[in-house]
């Protein structure tokens, strides 16, 4: 740069010092309602109010995960490592007949998405990306229902709601999701 102003130099200056995020493509380029994408952006930035974040700020919290009552609640634990969440992931992946495994105990959503992306057939990839956003978002909503409404955790109920929501996302125009969802699923 020679020190003169150009629109390009202004644009580059806007991002100077920023840290690039590898998750932007999954979050912002996949089809999902804005609120679901925003949740994932917050989760990736560790900005969601889980027990560990509340504890760091000295606020009242419950220590164990309300879904499994085993481990301390943290975002990656809640969405991926919790036995309850792993069961939900397994049921959703089985329902979709995807050739991948649920996220492992060691993985983060983005790492799992990148590895699973390598084995998902190309026609199913856009739908898979939408489901990779839908499932954690619905797990979080179920957790919030347990916290604020006293709902009892139920993997079967949650998977049924995920199926219903996936059908609604398809009707709303979720790119590629109609290819991924089994045609035998009865939309109410």
Residue 73 falls in which region: left (phi positive, over 0), alpha (psi -120 to 50) or beta:
beta
The pLDDT tens digits of the residues spanning 5-19 come to 888 888 888 877 766
Closest CA to 68 of 156, 155, 133: 155
Phi, psi of 151 (to 5 degrees): -65, 145
Q: How far apart are CA 82 and CA 126, in angstroms?
A: 26
Tallying the residues shown for the chain, one arrives at: 188
Model confidence band, residue 47 (pLDDT cutoffs 50, 70, 90): confident
Q: How many of the other CB atoms lie within 10 Å of CB of 187?
A: 11
d(CA 94, CA 11): 45
First to last CA, the chain: 59
* Res. 89: pLDDT tops 90: yes
Helix (H, G, I), strand (E, B) or coil at 41: helix
The token pair that represents 10 in the structure block: 């202004």
- Of residues 108, 54, 106, 112, the one with CA closest to residue 79: 108
Rounded to whole angstroms, the Cα distance separating 7 from 14 reads 11
Classify residue 32 by its DSSP letter.
-
> Residue 138: its pLDDT value, please?
97
Mean pLDDT on 16-23: 67
Region 48-68 average pLDDT: 86
* pLDDT (average), residues 48-66: 85
The first and second tokens of residue 117, run together, are: 């992306």
Residues 6+ away with beta carbon under 8 Å from 168: none
Structure tokens at 185: 């699923």
Residue 166 binned pLDDT confidence (cut-offs 50, 70, 90): very high
Supply the pTM of this predicted model: 0.84
Residue in this structure with the two tokens 């990656």, named with its chain if needed: 76
Residues 96-132 pLDDT 10s: 998 888 877 666 778 888 888 889 988 888 899 899 9
């Amino acid at each position: 740069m020679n020190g003169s102003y150009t629109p390009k130099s202004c644009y580059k200056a806007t991002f100077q010092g920023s840290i690039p995020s590898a998750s932007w493509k999954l979050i912002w380029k996949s089809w999902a309602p804005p609120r679901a994408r925003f949740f994932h952006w917050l989760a990736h930035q560790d900005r969601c109010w889980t027990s560990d974040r509340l504890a760091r700020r000295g606020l009242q919290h419950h220590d164990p995960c309300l879904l499994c009552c085993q481990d301390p609640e943290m975002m990656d634990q809640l969405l991926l490592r919790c036995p309850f969440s792993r069961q939900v992931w397994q049921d959703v992946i089985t329902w979709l007949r995807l050739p991948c495994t649920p996220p492992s105990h060691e993985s983060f959503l983005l790492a799992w998405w990148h590895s699973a992306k390598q084995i998902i057939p190309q026609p199913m990839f856009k739908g898979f990306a939408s489901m990779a956003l839908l499932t954690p978002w619905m797990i979080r909503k179920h957790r919030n229902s347990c916290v604020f409404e006293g709902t009892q955790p139920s993997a079967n109920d949650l998977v049924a709601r995920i199926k219903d929501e996936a059908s609604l996302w398809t009707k709303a125009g979720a790119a590629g999701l109609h290819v991924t969802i089994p045609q035998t699923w009865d939309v109410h």
